[in-house]
Amino acid sequence: MKLRNLGKIAAGILIFVVLITFLFWYGQGKSFLQPALSLDTPAIAQLKELRCVEDTVFMRTNHMKLLVTWRNGTVREGNRLYTATDGRIFETKLSGTCLKCHSNKQQFCDRCHNYVGAKPNCFSCHIIPAEVRK
Amino acid sequence: MTPSRRDFLKIAGISTLSLVAPAILSPVWAKDKLTIPGGAPLTAKRWGMAIDASKCPVGCVDCITACHGEHNVPDIGNPKDEVKWIWQEKFSSVFPHESHTYLRESQAQLKLPVMCNQCANPPCVRVCPTQSTFQRQDGIVMMDYHRCIGCRLCMAACPYGARSMNYRNPQPFIAKTNPDFPTRTKGVVEKCNFCDERLVRGLKPACVAACTKNALVFGDMENPRSEIRLLIEKRFNLRRRASLGTQPQIYYIV
């Protein structure tokens, strides 16, 4: 087979490769402003030890998995209490437990979620308390 | 080196102590334990309800108000989009096969509270393609709204019309939102959940608690000494369309 359009094919492949690798080279070397999360709520100020349900590193990477486990356990198995690794026990409620401390949803949840463009649909049903919504 | 008999017994004793000690000397944080506010959870082998509608005063909707307020059921005000967990129907609608032209007038005029029958053999569970509707060990037919795709097969399967579809976003139609219970969203089906969220707090269902005339009796059908079993053994009762084989667990005393 004779490649008569070799130039066009090569150009096409080049454009394809550039586009497909765009995500890997575009952000290189640039610095982005990380979202600053606020822990400034009355409930958190009263805590003796600054610790979420689990430790911060775990919560940062796994809060979604924890919430899914809570959700399935509560609805499908009826387990409404969660024992953390340090022995403390929490009620598995999104509005009642999570938002009780993190009553600044806009300065806490939303900042990161908007930054990474993750839009969970938790709050299309679960109620955001009036003091959190404002 | 082989340990002597004395050393072996010492090690065995210390090992046993170390196993028992944590239970006796419980750590400080263990005292910080949380229980769900309210009494001990109510449990049963199979939950059921008996309804004596002859006790219902004319025009009383206490059970409906309590349930719909507690569960954030919207009042859309349009029968086509209506969402309902518990509502009232005429005797001839509730028991079409048992009613006839010469029914006693008080019976014909009677408005009976109707809701999900929490069937022991629920057709909605069988047809649900996502297992969003499922049956718990205690007989409650529950909905996992997270998994509902809004296909409405359950609505077609339910012979009692106990399921409602959210054809539109229900939130603007909730007069006063109860923060302790989630709302639903557009595109999911909903129904009575026998107040599973109250049972776990040791409370009876909202409709039963709201009824001042004791027309609704809630209890364990598998316990022969429970109030509900004694009641339905004493008084004649009907179940809605029992011939369909769904084994409904709402018993109407007539």
- Average of pLDDT values for B178-189? 94
User: Which of B25, B26, B29, B131 to mutate to probe the A interface, most A CBs <10 Å?
Assistant: B29
Q: Is B27 on the interface with A (CB under 8 A)?
A: yes
Residue of A90, A95, A127 with shortest CB distance to B34: A90
* pLDDT computed for residue A68 by the predictor: 94
* pLDDT computed for residue B213 by the predictor: 93
* pLDDT computed for residue B27 by the predictor: 55
In terms of Cβ atoms closer than 10 Å to its own Cβ (0-12, 13-18, 19+), residue B94 is buried
User: In this complex, do B36 and A81 lie within 8 Å of one another by their Cβ atoms?
Assistant: yes
* B26 pLDDT more than 80: no
* B226 pLDDT more than 80: yes
**Sequence-separated (6 or more) residues with CB below 8 Å from residue B10:** none
Which residues of chain B have a CB within 8 Å of the CB of A81? 34-36
* B31 pLDDT more than 80: no
* pLDDT computed for residue B37 by the predictor: 67
Between CA B242 and CA B244 the distance in angstroms is 5
* pLDDT computed for residue B124 by the predictor: 97
pLDDT tens-place string over residues A1-11:
667 889 999 99
In terms of Cβ atoms closer than 10 Å to its own Cβ (0-12, 13-18, 19+), residue B84 is buried
User: Which of A127, A131, A132 to mutate to probe the B interface, most B CBs <10 Å?
Assistant: A127
- Average of pLDDT values for B54-64? 93
The CA-to-CA distance between both ends of chain A, in Å, stands at 69
pLDDT tens-place string over residues A64-95:
999 999 999 999 988 889 999 988 899 999 98
Closest chain B residue to the Cα of A122, Cα to Cα? B146
User: In this complex, do A78 and B180 lie within 8 Å of one another by their Cβ atoms?
Assistant: no
Between CA B84 and CA A81 the distance in angstroms is 30
User: In this complex, do B179 and A95 lie within 8 Å of one another by their Cβ atoms?
Assistant: yes
- Average of pLDDT values for B82-90? 96
Contact B47, B228 (CB under 8 A): no
CA of B164 vs chain A CAs: smallest distance (Å) = 16
Residue type, B123: P
Q: Output the CA–CA distances (angstroms, integers) from residue B159 to A82, B119, B154, B247, B254, in the order listed.
A: 38, 11, 10, 12, 21
Fold annotation for B47-253? Alpha-Beta Plaits (3.30.70)
What is the percentage of chain B residues whose pLDDT exceeds 90?
79
* B23 pLDDT more than 80: no
- What SS3 state is found at B237? strand
* B188 pLDDT more than 90: yes
User: In this complex, do A91 and B36 lie within 8 Å of one another by their Cβ atoms?
Assistant: yes
- DSSP class of residue A87 equals S
User: In this complex, do A125 and B32 lie within 8 Å of one another by their Cβ atoms?
Assistant: no
Which residues of chain B have a CB within 8 Å of the CB of A97? none
- B36 confidence band (pLDDT: 50, 70, 90): low
CB < 8 Å from A in window 128-157 of B: 134, 136, 142, 144-146
Which of the listed ranges A23-32, A91-100, B144-153 does the model predict with the highest average pLDDT?
Answer: B144-153
The pTM assigned to this predicted structure is 0.80
* B39 pLDDT more than 70: yes
User: In this complex, do A127 and B179 lie within 8 Å of one another by their Cβ atoms?
Assistant: yes
* Residue A11 CB neighbour total at 10 angstroms: 11
CA of B227 vs chain A CAs: smallest distance (Å) = 25
CA of B132 vs chain A CAs: smallest distance (Å) = 9
Number of A to B CB contacts under 8 A, please give it. Answer: 49
User: Sign of the C-alpha dihedral, residues A7, A12, A16, A22?
Assistant: positive
- Average of pLDDT values for B93-122? 93
Q: Is B203 on the interface with A (CB under 8 A)?
A: no
- Average of pLDDT values for B216-242? 95
**Sequence-separated (6 or more) residues with CB below 8 Å from residue A127:** A95, B72, B177, B179, B181, B182, B183
Between CA A13 and CA A17 the distance in angstroms is 6
